Structure 1
Amino acid sequence: MIMVVDMSVVLAWYFEEAQTSKALGVLKLIGKNGVLVPELWWCELENGILMGERRARKTPTDSAAFLKLVRALPIETDQTPRRQISDRILDLGRQHQLTAYDATYLELAIRETVPLATFDEALRRSARAMGVSVMPTAG
């Protein structure tokens, strides 16, 4: 089943954080089923890579290898014009005290009725409150 994946999961792969094993489980599902992302996902990815390089956690060579992996994944970028979903994003942000970025992922998962993969606890709670399946599961 296709899912929406936010940057907390993707950057856990890149920075090999504590949640890496769970993030790799999501990566395997993406390789098999694909992923749906909002347009801002790409900007967040680029920003995360740049911040990792500036903080000397990764090198440009590391970044290039990671981008090659990411670009090989079956990623579908949502093409819905932002002006058509802006009101829903703002409503979700207000209702759940989310950033516009996080509300964008939640809106996409709701609209497409697909699970949302995130490590962000506020986003996980909000997704569950809206009836969205959340991945990876706890435990």
Structure 2
Amino acid sequence: MRPFVMDCSVTAGWVIGSQSDNYTMGVLDRLQESKALVPSIWLYEVANMLLSAEIKKSITREESSAFYKMLQGLSFEIVHRNDEEWSELLLWMSKTHRLTAYDTAYLYLAMDRGYPLATRDLKLESAAKMAGVEIFQP
């Protein structure tokens, strides 16, 4: 199966019940046969999402630990890129699409690799469509 780029809004649906839906669970199922690419910021976003969920008592510390173990069994490629050209392009794209730099990292990775983008973020989805990026359908 063709790889795809995935953002943290999808990942959140795998551990936080209120953010889970058919789409997020469908993406998780597809990871059994496809690989997801994520920018390195995804690691920090996942950690922050888990921390916030623990503080809000949406999940327990044990559930966070179990979630990290589950992630280790999935097929991800973490793409590290932080050179000067990347930083300038990220800033320009963020301004153009009116996105956070974090969300722009996912959009740029999808554009750069020519892969569809899996997201539950409506603003990012809209920007992706405007940029000609296919939205991943599980």
Please classify the TM superposition score into its range, dividing by the shorter chain length: over 0.9
Query: How many Å separate the matches in 2 of 1:99 and 1:132?
Result: 17
CA-atom RMSD in angstroms? 1.4
Q: Which residue of 2 aligns with 1:31?
A: 32
Q: CA deviation at 1:31?
A: 2.2
Cα 1:82–1:101 shift into 2, 3 Å: farther
Instruction: Report if aligned partners of 1:118, 1:136 keep a CA contact under 8 Å in 2.
Output: no
More helix by share: 1
Aligned residues: 137
CA separation in 1, counterparts of 2:59 and 2:22?
Answer: 19
How far did residue 82 of structure 1 move?
Answer: 4.1
- Alignment TM-score, normalising by the size of structure 1: 0.92
Map 1:100-111 to 2 at 5 A. 100-111=101-112
Secondary structure of the residue aligned to 1:32 is coil
Aligned partners of 2:15 and 2:63: how far apart in 1?
9
1:5 Cα offset (Å): 0.5
Q: Bigger CA drift: 49-58 or 85-94?
A: 85-94
Query: Once superposed, which parts of structure 1, at least 4 consecutive aligned residues long, lie more than 6 Å away?
Result: none
Deviation at 1:64, TM superposition (A): 1.1
CA-to-aligned-CA distance 1:71-100 (integer Å, 9 cap, x gap): 111110112234331122111111111000
Mapped partners of 1:123, 1:133: distance in 2: 12
CA 1:2–1:100 in 2, change beyond 3 Å: closer, same or farther?
same
How far apart, CA to CA, are the structure 2 residues paired with 1:44 and 1:89? 17
Alignment gaps of 5+ in structure 1: none
What is the CA distance between 1:25 and its match in structure 2? 0.4
